[in-house]
A and B are shown apart, each in its own frame.
Chain A
Amino acid sequence: MALALAENVISNSIALDIEGVTHRYDLDGRDLQVIDNVSIVIEPGEFVALLGPSGCGKSTLLRLAAGLETPTTGRVLEDGRPITAPDPDRILVFQDATLFPWRTVRDNVAIGLEARGLIRELEYRIDEVLKLVKLEGFADVYPHQLSGGMAQRAALARALVNDPKLLLLDEPFGKLDSLTRLRMQNELLELWKSAGFTALLVTHDVEEALLLADRVIVLSDRPASIVAEVRVDRPHPRRRDDAGLVALRRELLEKLGISHDV
């Protein structure tokens, strides 16, 4: 009974275990190794950031966690069960909003519910999440009429309407202007706190990682392997000029091979 209760409490998030994963692609007959023996344990409800240079294989880790691909060797587990296929419990948000241009914002958000045949029962959720991401006035607008930040919000809404237990974010704010990015980072943090999902964020922005994550994992250049792991024990909301964060930032930049006076 107590166990069942405990399961209920944590049911809006999952644990993700990446166990000794190595991954290779076959590019025109050329073998390309992108991930080299990476192991990460992520607790339910934790916010983890993967930090590393562009093209180092971070995105591939997310694709593995989403179930879009299976690792060459090693295992990826959700709550102890191997991940073999995509599942709406684990949703990937891309750098580009990748909204379907032929659907309005509302119909884009509805995709997950439609695909799972839940649109009848859960249609009211669409308006809820649109309000959550502050797009309630843009439900019937087509994606090309949205700004970059609004499109990315719509993409977030499209993920959140499915109540994901694991949100995989692939540089979701990478193409936004810096002001919009700051605002979106705070909004994401609010959503994470209220919804309680596990979050795995891929970024090459050191500040973004430090502002948002409980834990920052630094990856090397391709093939990606873990260089360092830093726990960020600061309460939210965090300030950019917080002395502890500034020290961490310097440490992380050094780990990435860049001295802080750059």
Chain B
Amino acid sequence: MSAAIEDTFGGTGRRSLALPVTGLWRNGLFAAGTWLLASAVTYGLPDVITWGATELFAIVTLAGAILFVALSLTVHRLGGVGRTLVHYGPWFIVLGLWLAVWEVLTAKLGWLPKPFFSPPQGLLHVYVTDWERLLICVAYTGRLWGLGFFSGILVGFAGGVALGWSKRFAYWGMPLLKLIGPVPASAWIPCTFFLFPTTFHASIFLVALASGIPVAILTAAGVGQVNRSFYDVARTLGASNRFLIFKVAIPASLRNVFVGVFMGLYYSFAVLVVAEMLGAKFGLGWYLQFNTAYSAYANVYAALIIMALICAGLVRLLFVVRDRLLGWQKGIL
């Protein structure tokens, strides 16, 4: 009796996490249900506002529902991937619900009107019709971001080490850094036009500045905080200044450096839109502005989602790099 009660009350939530080896993934079935609901709502109810891609979106969500049904039977055979899927089960359920509600509020009832709000089918429509231009924009933005971010963190890191290491550098550099730090990127535009030969160079500079400054500040702080006795130990063991910088100061402050790089990554994405104001012909930032000007907000949202996904992917990648370089911290943190 009591076992049965526990089963009915505590069982549902627990079973989704501790997956029985041969059982059914119950949350997968629920997810299939909510995705099917989204599909049915999209296909069954008439569009009050036309957005296009209605049938396609219904098909995509239906495919999602079928996939979840298939997964709910097979997920336990997928090993690590399966465990990750199971972990995010509740998210898949809510995602399906969210798509259905979003669809109803925008395209089906028109409570959230065009052009300010776009239903998911509107975003899908953008991806289907404008994918070529979006891909080119991703490539352009990738080039600008890559050049700006990596040159920025490189210069920021070198400058930060110098600021943290040398008193004279810190005397002249720190006040400048503190003055420059809070200036918004757009305020630099007039100078950059004068200083750089092309607008592309100016854009790179803006991205580099946004990513370099947090790296410089945190690296300087990290190098400054290194335990003095590490230097004493190394010096009595015959270390030169070069050894002290590269083998003591830098590894000891690497954790701070990574905090700076994470901040720089976020700032660099925030500044992309401004950087691509400067006469860019393509790029996600440019795409955002161009479509905002034409009130094509569905395109804006579609591009924003791409940017957010790329940024999240890069953050993930950076975590992998950090964990590899700071592997010795395992067990300390």
Contacts and interface: CB of A to CB of B under 8 A. Distances in A.
Do A and B interact with each other, yes or no? yes
B234 A115 contact: yes
Contacts of A87: 236, 238
A226 to B, nearest CB: 25
B236 A66 contact: yes
Interface residues of A, number: 29
Residue in B236, B248, B326 whose Cβ sees the most chain A Cβ within 10 Å: B236
B331 interface: yes
Given A94-B229, A96-B229, A162 B331 contact: no
Contacts of B233: 92, 94, 98, 111, 158
A262 B227 CA distance: 38
Looking at chain B's contact residues, the main secondary structure is: helix
A67 B232 CA distance: 10
B22 interface: no
Contacts of A111: 233-234, 237, 239, 247
Contacts, number: 73
Interface residues of B, number: 23
B251 to A, nearest CB: 5
B332 A92 contact: no
B133 interface: no
A54 interface: no
A114 interface: yes
B328 interface: yes
A115 B331 contact: no
Given A92-B236, A112-B238, A144 B331 contact: yes
A102 B332 CA distance: 11
B235 interface: yes
A25 interface: no
A87 B232 CA distance: 11
A90 B236 contact: yes
Interface pairs A-B: 4 shortest CB-CB: A112-B237, A88-B238, A115-B239, A86-B235
5 contacts: A87-B236, A88-B238, A91-B236, A98-B229, A112-B238
Interface of B: 227, 229-230, 232-240, 243, 247-248, 251-252, 254, 326, 328-329, 331-332
Interface of A: 63, 66-68, 86-88, 90-92, 94, 96, 98, 100-104, 111-112, 114-116, 142, 144-145, 158-159, 162
